[in-house]
Amino acid sequence: MTASSTAHNVGRHPSAKEERKMRKPLIERKRRERINNCLDQLKDTVIGAFSLDQSKLEKADILEMTVKHLQNIQSSHDPTLGLEAQQKYSTGYIQCMHEVHNMLLTCEWMDKTLGSRLLKHLLKSCPNLKRRSCLHPEMMLLSQGSPPSEETWRCGDPGDPLDG
């Protein structure tokens, strides 16, 4: 630009095209900064996973090692371990539901309807629905939508209905 055209443009707003031209280097700089930050984080992770020293790694090396590490994780994934973990989680969840049920039986101040809603929610949220056969028959009634009754609140101890 010449001095006369610069003086002419001082008072006016830049056009959209000119604004994009001015912002492009800034946007590109920020994009590269984000990429480099992510690569630094990957580098730290890869160095830990491969037990490497803090040597200078090129960006391509970091990406290759990351891909290799993720492939190793995928190939070593044993589907039976996932199933076993799900079963353990479901078993623990059901045990927790039984504890909640027993606690509700002993809380005289707890409203039966509120307790029933809580147990219904826990049943709906129960992982692995096939495991519901492990539940007490009283809790199964709740899962089928039966209205709560004193029988629903008994868990092997007929003398402890939940008083509301």
41-72 confidence digits (pLDDT tens): 988 888 887 777 767 788 898 899 889 888 88
Nearest to 97 by CA among 159, 142, 130: 142
Render pLDDT for 7-39 as a digit per residue (tens, 0 to 9): 555 667 889 889 888 999 999 999 999 999 999
User: Which residues fall within 8 angstroms of residue 49, CB to CB, at 6 or more apart?
Assistant: 65, 69
**Range(s) for CATH 4.10.280.10 in the chain?**
15-76
The percent of residues above 70 in pLDDT, for the chain, comes to 66
* Cβ atoms of residues 47 and 69 within 8 Å: no
Measuring CA to CA, how many Å separate 127 from each of 73, 88, 101, 138? 25, 11, 17, 19
Round the average pLDDT of the chain to a whole number and report it. 74
- Is the CATH number 4.10.280.10 carried by domain 15-76? yes
Q: What is the pTM of this model?
A: 0.40
